[in-house]
Chain A
Amino acid sequence: MRRVIESDVCIIGSGISAAMVAEKLSETGPAAIVVVEAGDESNRAAERYALRRRYLDYGETPWRNDHLDGYDVDGIQSRSMQVGGLAMHWGGVTPRFSPEDFRVRALYGVGHDWPISYDDLDPWYQDAEVRLGVAGEQGPPELDPRGAPFPQAPIPLSYNLEQLRGWTDRAGIPMWSQPSAKNSAPYRGRPACCRNDTCFPVCPIGAKYSPDHTWDPLRASGRVTLIPRTVVRRLEVEGPGSRVTRAVAVARDGGSETEFRARIFVVAAGYVWSSHLLLLSASSRYPDGLGNGSGLVGKYIGGHRNVGGFVSLPLRLFPGINEQHSLVSKKFMRVARTTRYLRHDLRVWESAAGREPRLGDSTGRLLLGDALLADWRRRAATGAARVRAYYDVIPARESAVTLDPVQRTPWNDPLPRLSLRDDPVSAELRGPSEAAIRQVFDGMARAGDGAVISTRSDSFQDHPAGGCRMGTDPRSSVTDSWGRTHDHENLFVVGAPTCVSMGCANGTLTFCALSLRSAQEIGRDFPARR
């Protein structure tokens, strides 16, 4: 017998974007919010210290139940599918996009503009920063505009980062403490960071924000009902209108069907699974899937690529003081119009590159006893820095999530297939862009009387997003700026999928800000909670 669950709002997915929407709605909006999650419950906070120990000692994952068997997708960034989603093991880094990210067509003649500006999103960035508890340092205002101070004082620069900031100052690059959703002081019941330095993959004390910090109180207070281990297979429109009326799901325990009925449906399943669900929801009336009148569901996915490297410096550094914290600069994000489009962020970390202990000396002879330690000390007498720049990649229309014609889920639905393609402009610029970034690294090394040890470019695109991009024109976008699909007034897509472009900095805070903005709009459909 099919189980039927009714609510005002049904949110599909329980990652960080879903958590933002649910929390915001629960404060002012509808009475009944149901969240459906395909994955398992994540591990409990009390377990994390021991799980971290296993990670440090053996490399074991602290998140053993974070993915579903039978959901292997080539090219996917992470298989994370659990209550809390990928942000259960994110690094907690929360830069904003820069104003230019929203206007690359207008400013540089490439890519596509967003229907909203940085200023439009600024209040929602602030809201997200407060909810996540972002600790940040105000950068130079011309590089780092913001409408309100960070809710927490910055994570202090470590001794190593202070030395490295002296170096980047000499290189003429203003850098500051990377904003992070990590507590610099006790905040909202969570303790201050104490430099356990395993933010990724697991903070053992809860100083780093993760979505369980939102879900646990929401669930405990009964404001949200979260149903895990339940895979939504399709959304359906019944009757003559275009409103989505139900989500049909299957319980992973026993395979019984569950039907979720709601006034509003919010797809918050990330850049792959959100598009995938809309495509899976094809019917005779909507042969290309729901929300897909533009034919763009799944299209324009992408991220940013990076060039990273290591620089040796004549500095006495002590690797391990706070390895996951970094310096950041937006100097290269806020560039004027150039003949060759290139925008990138820049981050600097402490590093032990080239200074690791080694088993053999330069001739390959085995080192034992005191000789090994002496060899290490000699090479560790000076320091090193890790540098990395994410640069903006403009996705092609064909950069897409589609339905795989061969691979199927355990429920016999097509799995998603990912195919990331650069827009021709970005494809042509890839080589020169990466060369230009290497020149930046070279210049930095020279300024510090150091040398570049090595550089590399990763082929994958980080912090992927898109697939249901927002816009004002239903012919060239899937949702409006609030995430409401153009085709179905009660169907929203929130967070990463709605991004028009992916900028050149970590995207999570932007996904959260967009989700909160969507939640505000969704809440308008409901009377205020008394």
Chain B
Amino acid sequence: MSTTRRRFVLGVAALVPLPFVARRLHGLAVASLDPVRLRALAAAVLPAELGAGGLERTAQAFEQWLAGYRESAELLHGYGTGEIHVTGPSPALRWAAQLDALGPSFASRTVSERQAEVRAAVGTGRFAGFPPIDRAPHLALGLLAFFYDSPEATDLCYRAAIGRNSCRPLATSARMPLPLATGR
């Protein structure tokens, strides 16, 4: 989707804030994400240790996550409270624009050059923890938040097959997790 067209669509969305319009815009924005540039971004911000396969898996999973995002979905009400909260607006339009803004030559640059561009794009604030994925102010931060929230990231950090949140036999829980297999 071109920048001009995206501006037009955003303008229409502001005038007609109907759920089906939002869903349609979300779908258009997801479809417009440049897969090559997204993977170039992933290679710049995610650890190289993931390897080409891991980077591709993460990029694909991120695309699926974004495609599956639903606005105004009821969130789990927390422990000790009955307050109801819902998911916010889809980040897809915002992130698609940010990916566009990295420019057509982004993918052909070196990793360090791309990292410098990302730093410039996300600003110079003080960074601490990860934002909620959908509220990440920049696509790069959303991608980082997505990956580092994953069981795969935990396994990579500990270099062990912990397999958080996956179905594993109870009987094996008593032993130290096995080292990660190489060649991921």
Contact = CB atoms under 8 A, between A and B. Distances in A.
A binds B: yes
Interface of A: 54-64, 67, 72-73, 76-79, 155-159, 162, 184, 192-198, 200-201, 205, 318-323, 356-360, 364-370, 372-373, 376-377, 380, 458, 460, 462
B74 A368 contact: no
B63 to A, nearest CB: 13
Contacts of A77: 80-82
Contact of B154 (A196, A319, A364, A458): A319
A62 B77 CA distance: 10
Interface in B108-132: 111, 115, 118-119, 122, 125-130, 132
B70 A58 contact: yes
B80 A462 contact: yes
B127 A365 contact: yes
Contacts of A79: 77, 82, 84
A380 B159 CA distance: 11
Nearest to A49: B167
B170 interface: yes
A55 to B, nearest CB: 6
A369 B45 CA distance: 4
B18 interface: no
B116 to A, nearest CB: 10
Given A156-B173, A321-B173, A462-B80, A380 B127 contact: no
Nearest to B158: A318
Contacts of A61: 74-77
B103 to A, nearest CB: 18
Nearest to B61: A57
Nearest to A366: B127
B156 interface: yes
Nearest to B73: A60
Contacts of A155: 170
A364 to B, nearest CB: 3
B153 to A, nearest CB: 7
A360 B127 contact: yes
11 contacts: A194-B167, A195-B168, A198-B165, A318-B176, A320-B162, A321-B164, A358-B129, A359-B129, A366-B127, A369-B115, A376-B157
B19 interface: no
Task: For the complex of A and B, list the 5 residue pairs with the smallest distance between their C-beta atoms, beginning with the closest.
Answer: A360-B127, A320-B164, A364-B126, A79-B82, A373-B47
Interface in B27-78: 44-49, 65, 68-70, 73-77
Task: Among B73, B82, B122, find the residue whose CB has the most chain A CB atoms closer than 10 A.
Answer: B82
Contacts of A197: 164-165
Contact of A372 (B144, B167, B173): B144
B92 to A, nearest CB: 13
Contacts of B162: 318-321
Given A72-B82, A159-B174, A162-B174, A358 B167 contact: no
B65 A321 contact: no
B5 interface: no
Judged by DSSP, the binding face of B is loop
A272 to B, nearest CB: 10
Given A59-B87, A158-B173, A369-B111, A320 B157 contact: no
Contacts of B153: 357
A422 B49 CA distance: 55
Given A318-B158, A372-B47, A357 B73 contact: no
Nearest to A325: B173
B96 interface: no
Nearest to A193: B170
B167 A196 contact: yes
B128 A360 contact: yes
Interface residues of B, number: 59
Contacts of B130: 357-359
Contacts of A458: 80
B166 A370 contact: no
Contacts of A56: 165
A205 B76 contact: no
Given A159-B176, A370-B47, A196 B166 contact: yes
B87 to A, nearest CB: 6
A205 B167 CA distance: 10
A479 B134 CA distance: 51
B75 A59 contact: yes
B104 interface: no
Nearest to B176: A159
A162 B174 CA distance: 7
Q: Pick from B46, B81, B148, B170 the residue with the most CB of A within 10 Å.
A: B170
Contacts of B46: 369
Nearest to B116: A368
B93 interface: no
Contact of A194 (B47, B125, B170): B170
Given A58-B134, A360-B126, 13 more contacts: A56-B165, A58-B87, A61-B74, A194-B170, A198-B165, A320-B154, A322-B173, A358-B127, A359-B130, A359-B144, A369-B45, A369-B46, A458-B80
A156 B170 contact: yes
A321 B177 contact: yes
Given A59-B76, A162-B174, A194 B169 contact: yes
B128 A364 contact: yes
B151 interface: yes
A61 B77 CA distance: 7
B170 A195 contact: yes
Contacts of A54: 73
B175 A159 contact: yes
A74 to B, nearest CB: 9
A194 B77 contact: no
A231 B79 CA distance: 25
A197 B170 CA distance: 11
B90 to A, nearest CB: 11
A358 B128 CA distance: 6
B29 to A, nearest CB: 17
Residue in B49, B77, B129 whose Cβ sees the most chain A Cβ within 10 Å: B77
Nearest to A462: B80
A498 to B, nearest CB: 23
Contacts of A364: 125-128
A460 B158 contact: no
B160 interface: yes
A60 B128 contact: no
Nearest to A201: B76
A372 B153 CA distance: 11
A378 to B, nearest CB: 10
A501 B130 CA distance: 42
